[in-house]
Amino acid sequence: MNSMGDSKKLHIAMFPWLAFGHLIPFLELGKLIAQKGHRISFISTPRNIERLPKIPSNLAPSITFVKLPLPHVENLPENAEATMDVPYHIIPYLKKAHDGLQQPLSQFLETSAPDWIIHDFAPHWLPPIATKLGISRAFFSIFNASFLCILGPSKSSVTNAQEPRTEAKDFTVPPKWVPFPTKIAYRLFEAKKIFENFDENASGVSDWFRLLTIYLGADALAIKTCTEIEGEWLELLGELHDIPVIPVGLLPPPAQESGDSNKDSTWGTIVEWLDKQEKGSVVFIALGSEIQPTQQDFTELALGFEQSGLPFFWALRKKIELPEGFEERTRGRGFVWTGWAPQLKILAHDSVGGFLTHCGWGSVTEALQFGRALILLPFLTDQGLVARFLEEKQTGVEVPRNEENGSFTRESVAKTLRFVIEDVEGKIYRDNAKEMATIIGGKDLHSTYIDKFVEFLENRGRVKEG
């Protein structure tokens, strides 16, 4: 139903970064905007578009997929169009290829003249193009507000008043621009990697340059969060960037969204096993499509699951070498699944009591939607800060790690699992996760956020050139 009455139908272009952790929330947001009667052009590469979930038939006329072929770049494997297709160290070449979409995207924007483009952090070259064409720009962040605040301000007045962060240890304490008490900061082993984001990479620019340019060129910052969870951080974010910050809610996808029909058969096998387990007893383990731990990490994880004595369902993207005899010793109690797994359906199952996660914001909000307590094992840039945020909320506990190199032991994995899932002292985490489900699972609440965002888009419309 069109909520706008007789007002103008907007044409909105959407341009996510080439990662499914970005593509899926962008698509979810696009579907919700289309439900309000607006027209969406969803822009990505051919292979990525083919791998997206199918659009509901009632929205299909309102959403057009625009396929821009990804230019060939040296060191980027053939058919690699998303971060899940390449090892972590190859991602800068994917960014370089993504920058090669500048000309075809410009041509599309010029010929189709959308009212808005909702874009990601990566296309630093986009703001001047859109400005010249009179197209309003919204940066949609799939990262949460606390992460963006800790990362840093774009306003020079804020940075000039602070001591610059020039060494890794400077990132291991909360920055001085955060005016309220918090313990959210990087661990030393994470901070050492952070400099990669501030240094020029193989794409020709740094990730921080991309983000800063996007902040300075956007008319608004839309963000996948809500004030009920990140109120003070959202307020601070607006001050750090001097830009309208609009939370769009957590975009919780419907639990029973089936995805591909040929994948539905896998659910039969999985649910048969889950149905045999006691309520709230199973640890679901999934580290996302982009995380590629070392063999040593995998071994310690596996032996930690074994040592915990808890039932577990471990979803692996690719087959790995498990410790000798591991599957035999854990047979019946543990289930190792290789390939695609229906994460939402698994998290929704009553037998699942906890979720060991890499702390991607999307996965975390999916788990909390069903009140699952979290065992936190972050690997990439934003994930460590998300883990600390969740610890502050007492909805999850982080697996202890070596501060210098980030290594962890089977003992620390087993102890953390038992603490969160069954120990009396861990009950507060289980209770808080259930309480969080009332916020994250509240469809009416998130609908209100979408209404406000769409109202903002409608009122702003096209900007005048110049």
Instruction: Provide the percentage of residues in the chain whose pLDDT is more than 70.
Output: 93
Assess whether pLDDT exceeds 60 at residue 389: yes
Tell me the average pLDDT across 171-200: 91
Assess whether pLDDT exceeds 90 at residue 384: yes
pLDDT at 219: 96
Model confidence at 161, in pLDDT bands (50, 70, 90)?
low
- For the stretch 7-55, pLDDT in tens is 689 999 999 999 999 999 999 999 999 999 999 999 999 999 999 999 9
Task: Name which of 115, 88, 106, 79 is nearest 4 in CA terms.
Answer: 115
CB-based burial label for 17 (10 Å; 0-12, 13-18, 19+): buried
DSSP annotation string for 59-96: TGGGEEEEE-PPPP-TTSPTT--SGGGS-GGGHHHHHH
Tell me the average pLDDT across 226-246: 95
CB 401, CB 379: distance < 8 Å:
no
Task: Name which of 52, 88, 95 is nearest 70 in CA terms.
Answer: 95
**Architecture of the domain delimited by 11-252+442-460:** 3-Layer(aba) Sandwich (3.40)
pLDDT at 258: 42
Question: Mean pLDDT, the chain, as a whole number?
Answer: 91
Q: One fold for both 11-252+442-460 and 261-440?
A: yes
Residue 313, classed as helix, strand or coil, is: strand
Assess whether pLDDT exceeds 80 at residue 254: no
- For the stretch 410-458, pLDDT in tens is 999 999 999 999 999 999 999 999 999 988 887 788 899 999 999 999 9
- For the stretch 121-140, pLDDT in tens is 999 999 999 999 999 999 99
pLDDT at 463: 47
Assess whether pLDDT exceeds 90 at residue 214: yes
Contacts of 209 (CB under 8 A, 6+ apart): 124, 200
The tally of CA atoms less than 13 A away on the side-chain side of residue 232 is 8
CB-based burial label for 323 (10 Å; 0-12, 13-18, 19+): middle
Model confidence at 275, in pLDDT bands (50, 70, 90)?
very high
User: 357-384: buried (b, 16+ CB within 10 Å) or exposed (e) per residue?
Assistant: bbbbbbbbbbbbbbbbbbbbbbbbbbbb
Distances (CA, A) of 255 to 159, 207, 264, 349, 441: 43, 34, 14, 10, 10
CA distance 442 to 388: 24
Model confidence at 314, in pLDDT bands (50, 70, 90)?
very high
Both tokens of 136, joined, read 């309003």
- For the stretch 82-128, pLDDT in tens is 999 999 899 999 999 999 999 999 999 999 999 999 999 999 999 99
CA distance 83 to 88: 8
In whole angstroms, how large is the CA radius of gyration of the chain?
22
Contacts of 328 (CB under 8 A, 6+ apart): none
Q: Which residue has the tokens 């419309």?
A: 461
CB 12, CB 114: distance < 8 Å:
yes
CATH number of 261-440: 3.40.50.2000
pLDDT at 264: 61
Tell me the average pLDDT across 223-249: 95
pLDDT at 2: 41
pLDDT at 263: 55
Assess whether pLDDT exceeds 70 at residue 237: yes
Domain ranges of the chain: 11-252+442-460, 261-440
